[in-house]
Structure 1
Amino acid sequence: METPAYLTMLPQQLIDFLPCLTPPEWVEAALGNERLLMIDHAQCEKKAASTAMNLMFRYTDRTELLTKMSQLAREELLHFEQVVELMRERGIAYEHLSASRYAEGLRAHVRTNEPGRLIDILIVGGLIEARSCERFAALIPHLDEGLAKFYRTLVRSEGRHFEDYIALAEQYAEEHGLGSIAERIAFFCARERELIEGPDDEFRFHSGIPRSA
């Protein structure tokens, strides 16, 4: 199978991390649902900021996490503002959408005891950021120049967020003498692949293959 050209926009580490590429059926659905795509994208940015803030409030004794999550929250809120402004320019009203099954489908497997809980949350955060980055890149070749330019900037920042999440997970696993997190990453990647390649009843930024496809 020919390698998609959009992968040249992504760091090899991120490509190797993800268990699969976004199905072309999702890209096709996204291009036909700009309104839903942008509204849910805005919600995803807001949720990403909230996740970072929640980690800051729960793990107040971890300096590296506080610094990284503070930076991430600010960036995600800026992205939220930028998406909402682009929506305004395109006549798209921001409104509430029901969440996709994606994030909760991953978080359902997070361990409840520490330090496993924190490590799993960080792995899930890294996976969500990596998938977001890959989806932006997959869309860019098909978008108008204004939206494509904005998404190019997001590819860089989301890629950095992915690296930060995984680096923190590796650091805390090492601190607690737990060794490699590769097995845990593989577990969550398997669940993520099921969500991305499985059928989905509704289109969202992180949804699977639309049932109508």
Structure 2
Amino acid sequence: MDTILHPIKHFLHCATPQSWVDEAVKPANLPTLLNDHLVCELKAAQSAMFLIRRYAVDATSAKALLEWLAPYEKFTYRQEGNWQDLPKCKLNKSMMAKSDSPYSQNLIDKMVLLIKEELHHFYQVLEMMDIYAIEYTNISSSRYAKGLLTHCKTHEPDALIDKLICGAYIEARSCERFAKIAPHLDPKLGEFYTSLLRSEARHYQDYLTLATDIAQIDIAPRIAFFGEREAELISTHDSDFKFHSGVPCAAINSAEQSLKAASF
């Protein structure tokens, strides 16, 4: 595990606060944790699909990608379909790369694999929810991803590079948090989260490699910029507890009450 986590800890600009870990492992928060994790897996797949459709493939391939994810989206947003049927949904067409894009095939290769793995994780989270008798409910998004993406540039190829850097940070943080909470959860759930570390670490590396290859210039300052923004989101107060949320307000209120009590 240390081999997997060492580069991620070096990449991230701050560690997850212990107060978030304390909140995440409370049994009362397990439904929120798993429901949000489920949606995060779908959004990770959707983000990768967007990159392929926007930058790498022809119209027919783009349509095939939409059809691939449609059953997952219908289940998540409309609660339509049987979740146990989702593994039957496959990508039924080879992706045709745009001929005018030198990085299309590399983007396709890495992102299609990522989508497959994220959708598999989506199904695995549903299995965990079934084991722990947690019902799926619609859940609002946290501020995290939007808080990163709002800083992306709007002109190309900088916009693509920024989105890839954001993807790297999201995957790296997910990996770090899985490792943080796994030892404190029920063994079966802890084992599941530990099993995700290797793929999440590879996803972060794939995003970063794509960003570096496409840029063909030194993007270290841009990576550092997003690292600082990501750390701000993780280390500042957050009233909405989610998988990628910041310092829980409950922990802050508790600390303030302790200080007041100590002052008397």
User: Shorter chain as normaliser: what TM range?
Assistant: over 0.9
Supply the RMSD in Å over aligned alpha carbons.
1.0
Partner AA of 1:163 in structure 2: Q
Instruction: Compute the TM-score of the two structures, normalised by the length of structure 1.
Output: 0.93
**1:136–1:154 contact (8 Å) kept in structure 2:** yes
1:205 match: secondary structure: coil
Q: 1:147 aligns with which of 189, 192, 216?
A: 189
Paired residue total: 203
> Structure 1 counterpart of 2:186, which letter?
D
Q: Scaled by the length of structure 2, what TM-score is found?
A: 0.75
Report matched runs for 1:12-161 at 5 Å: 12-32=6-26, 33-60=29-56, 61=98, 62-161=104-203
Shift in Å, 1:84: 0.8
The CA deviation at 1:9 is 6.0
1:21-50 deviation per Cα after TM superposition (whole angstroms, max 9, x unaligned)? 000000011011111001000000000000
Equivalence for 1:182: 220
- 2:48–2:115 contact (8 Å) kept in structure 1: yes
Is the 8 Å Cα contact of residues 29 and 210 (structure 1) preserved in structure 2? Answer: yes
* Distance (Å, rounded) in 1 between the aligned partners of 2:139 and 2:175: 21
> What SS is found at the alignment partner of 1:99?
coil
CA contact (8 A) 1:200 1:211 kept: yes
SS at match of 1:122: helix
Deviations 1:32-86 (A, max 9, x none): 1111001000000000000011111011231100111100001000000000111
State the distance in 1 between where 2:239 and 2:165 align: 26
Contact conserved, 1:18 with 1:127, CA < 8 A, in 2?
Answer: yes
CA distance in 2 between counterparts of 1:10 and 1:67 reads 22
Report Cα offsets for 1:165-192 as digits up to 9, x if no partner. 0000000011xxxx21110011001111
How many angstroms apart in 2 are the aligned matches of 1:199 and 1:182?
28
Q: Provide the secondary structure at the position in 1 that maps to 2:151.
A: coil
Bigger radius of gyration among the two? 2
Question: 1:160-171, aligned counterparts within 5 Å?
Answer: 160-171=202-213
The separation in 1 between residues aligned to 2:3 and 2:141, in whole angstroms, is 28
**Greater displacement, 8-17 / 125-134:** 8-17
In 2: Cα distance, 1:8 partner to 1:67 partner:
28
Question: C-alpha separation between the residues in 1 aligned to 2:25 and 2:186?
Answer: 11
Counterpart secondary structure, 1:10? helix
Distance, in Å, in 1 between the alignment partners of 2:228 and 2:160 is: 19
Deviation at 1:152? 1.1
Shift of 1:14: 1.4
Q: Deviation of residue 12 (structure 1)? A: 2.2
Residue deviations 1:119-167 (CA, integer Å, cap 9, x gap): 0000000000000000000011111211111111111110000000000
Q: What is the aligned-residue identity percentage? A: 50
